[in-house]
Amino acid sequence: MPLTIQQQEALTVPLYKDYRSLVPPLSEDLHKGQGGRIGILGGSSDYTGAPYFSAMAALRLGADLAHVICDEDAATAIKSYSPDIIVHPYIKIRATSDADEKKAHAMWMQTFDDIGSLLKRIHVLVIGPGLSRDKGMLQSARHAIEKAKEMDIPIVIDADGLFLIQNEPELIQGYKKAILTPNLVEFERLCKARDIDAGDKHAEETAVQRLSRGLGGVIIVQKGSIDLMSNGEKVHAATNDGGLKRSGGQGDVLTGIIATSLAWGVGYQKGIWKHSSEVKEDDIAMTACFGACLINRQCSQLAFKKHGRAMQASDVLEQIGPFFEMFYERATPRADWAAAIYG
């Protein structure tokens, strides 16, 4: 729904130079992995494309490594899409269904151990692309979320991962390193789960702000004609034009771009490369999410201009590298967002 004038006046935009500061330099001083290691849990037997789009978007933006944790029946397909993705067929839905209770329990314990071991090697965990609503897949996602929280890892949750949160909001309640990326329908369901009226025309604050606060300050990225994001206090809006074709997979592309941007934020915070520390710690995640939304929208627009109605998510992937190079390299550090995008 349209924002009220009061709500529009409360919107803010982080500085372009702050997002630019989060981007690690291409330097001989950095080694493999320091540019971002992303883990994606998803990929069921029916949905193999979504984790591919998230992983490739993360890599195209500039992450060094992308791991996909998936059902073993999905692994071969995902591996065949690209040799650049590291695929881990840890989840064994069919095998555990066919096994007796004792053997199935042992297999699940091994799955959980494997997931926990992999989480030690990544900067950001993505939950949801191609996850499905299979009980075993959701059980794996639940376990991964709990382990990531123990290890203080940022978590990006999308697609059927949001279905899990809708029904079990306590999984991420108050975990401020969680980022939820709902579309219109998913957003309304999350609001309903928290007794928030998403269509309240008289509310002083935006629904995205109220939902974030209702979940204890997790960041909500509400995808739509404009992308709104909030940590319960600030509200940013990415308003640049996107493409007009709503092909499947574009949301998965966004999760990958957000994941890499957050991974860069982790490196920035840890001082992996030399920088002036201008971006405050509390602003890093919101700045990363804003920049990711803006980049995704612009790449979608470029793909739509080239392909029109034929545009697919794979076409958006092709635009990420060329656009980001121009976006980052052409603009001076002190440029504003418009100058960075349009020159």
The per-residue pLDDT for range 101-140, each reduced to its tens digit, is: 999 999 999 999 999 999 999 999 999 999 999 999 999 9
296 is in an annotated binding site: no
- pTM strictly above 0.85: yes
224 is in an annotated binding site: yes
249 is in an annotated binding site: yes
Three-point CA angle 203, 209, 215, nearest 5°: 120
pLDDT at residue 109, as a whole number: 97
245 is in an annotated binding site: yes
> From the CB of residue 120, how many other CB atoms can be counted at a distance below 10 Å?
9
State how beta strands 124-127 and 155-157 pair: parallel
Looking at every residue in the chain, the average pLDDT score rounds to 95
246 is in an annotated binding site: yes
The CATH number covering residue 207 comes to 3.40.1190.20
State how beta strands 124-127 and 86-91 pair: unpaired
Confidence of residue 202 (pLDDT cuts 50, 70, 90): low
Instruction: Check residue 159 and give left, alpha or beta (phi > 0: left; psi -120 to 50: alpha).
Output: left
Largest CA distance in the chain: 63
161 is in an annotated binding site: no
Q: How far is CA 106 from CA 43, 119, 143, 339, in A?
A: 22, 20, 15, 56
| Helix, coil or strand: residue 61 | helix
227 is in an annotated binding site: yes
Range of the domain at 51: 5-342
Residue 9, pLDDT above cutoff 80: no
223 is in an annotated binding site: yes
149 is in an annotated binding site: no
244 is in an annotated binding site: yes
305 is in an annotated binding site: no
225 is in an annotated binding site: yes
39 is in an annotated binding site: no
* Structure confidence by residue, pLDDT tens digits, 168-187: 999 999 999 999 999 999 99
Q: Which of 14-23, 148-157, 202-211 has the lowest mean pLDDT?
A: 202-211
Residue 160, pLDDT above cutoff 60: yes
163 is in an annotated binding site: no
* Structure confidence by residue, pLDDT tens digits, 19-71: 999 999 998 888 998 999 999 999 999 999 999 999 999 999 999 999 999 99
As for how many domains the chain has, the answer is 1
What's 283's DSSP letter? Answer: G
Residue 332, pLDDT above cutoff 60: yes
Percentage of the chain exceeding pLDDT 70: 99
Residue 216, pLDDT above cutoff 90: yes
Cα(184)–Cα(166) distance, integer angstroms: 14
